[in-house]
Chains A and B, each alone.
Chain A
Amino acid sequence: MTLSVALGPDTQEGTRTGTEEATDSLTAPDIPWNLVIWNDPVNLMSYVSYVFQSYFGYSESKANKLMMEVHKKGRSIVAHGSKEQVERHAVAMHGFGLWATVEKASGGPGGNSGKSGGPGQGKGKRG
């Protein structure tokens, strides 16, 4: 409840002209964002898989595949969605104690850009 109030689109003021992120999240909610889970030496592999299965509803094999990717490659993109969706997931992951971040699907190392073909999406994050 807190989150839906807090993250409503109108909490972003349009005063900071030039910051594309604010503009993007207002005008193009369909720009895909990634939820990234990072490896750490504390979280149990079984626990990470359990979180992926129970929270996202992933099958055991999908959850284990993502978990192994986190473990071996250091990070894995485990969900996509609007900025609001992945932020909501990130808070849930932090609740479970997993180390989660959000990033724009087109930016960031290792982020697969997906097929974001909407108008006005050619702009990079940094001009």
Chain B
Amino acid sequence: MAKAFKYGLKGITGYLEPAERELLRSLIDDVISMLQPQERDGQDPLAALIGLDMDVAEPTDRAVRRLLPNVVKDDGAASLEFRQLTERSLRETKIGALRAAALDLDKDEIVLTTEGAKHWSMALNDVRLVLAERLDIRDEEDAEHVHLMQDWSQAEDVESYLALVYNFATWLQESLVQAMLQSLETRR
């Protein structure tokens, strides 16, 4: 059974069972694959290098759209213009955090620096955002409904399994963020 993250002398530490690490690794890999920019033929290599992507479009997948949202509400054109300039580097930032977290999953005991903890919290958040889209969590009521699912012996279908995974990721992120807030307070 996983142990909640806590803040102490060594920094922020946590412990995960091998099966839990395996689960998180596969979730992280899924999110990375969703965020991987598509390489197209005839793309300007210099533009790609500095992060420009003039062929970018608003993502069609709802979960990807939640990870990479429009920056201007109700203005697709202005949002698209912004995507051309920023989306590629945003994808890379997210992938960077997810990869960093995945690397920490090689050991049972997880010991995180401030920066490492930040990457973990971002990675867990993105994993949860994707799971929440798959679970159709649209409002607080939906979230409450999913939250009720806590018993692994009840996991009979994909949805209840996803709900349990979501709740596990939520619990883990909450304990991590509490440790990060404590660390922030200590450093002040």
A-B contact pairs, 22 of them (CB 8 A): A2-B88, A3-B85, A5-B50, A41-B138, A41-B143, A42-B128, A42-B137, A46-B178, A47-B121, A50-B121, A50-B181, A53-B184, A91-B86, A91-B89, A95-B90, A95-B93, A95-B97, A97-B67, A97-B122, A101-B69, A102-B71, A102-B72
B-facing residues in A41-84 (Cβ within 8 Å) = 41-44, 46-47, 49-50, 53-54, 60
Distance (whole angstroms) from the CB of A61 to the closest CB of chain B: 12
Say yes or no: A103 contacts B181, CB within 8 Å: no
Contacting pair B170 A44 (CB below 8 A): yes
Q: Nearest B residue to A48 by beta-carbon distance? A: B177
Measured between C-beta atoms, what is the minimum distance from B79 to chain A in Å? 9
Nearest opposing residue in chain B for A60, CB measure? B185
Which applies to chain B's interface (DSSP): helix, strand, loop or mixed?
Answer: helix
Bound CA–CA A102/B86 (angstroms): 14
Residue A105 at the chain B interface, CB threshold 8 Å = no
Taking Cβ atoms with an 8 Å cutoff, the residues of A that contact B are 2-3, 5-7, 11, 21, 36, 41-44, 46-47, 49-50, 53-54, 60, 87, 90-91, 94-97, 99-103, 108
Most chain A beta-carbon contacts within 10 A, residue among B93, B97, B139? B93
Known: A101-B71, A102-B72. A96 touches B52 (CB 8 A): no
For chain B, residues 65 to 94, give those with C-beta under 8 angstroms from any C-beta of chain A: 66-73, 78, 82, 85-86, 88-90, 93-94
- Chain B residue with the shortest CB-CB distance to A71: B140
Is B142 close to A, CB under 8 A? yes
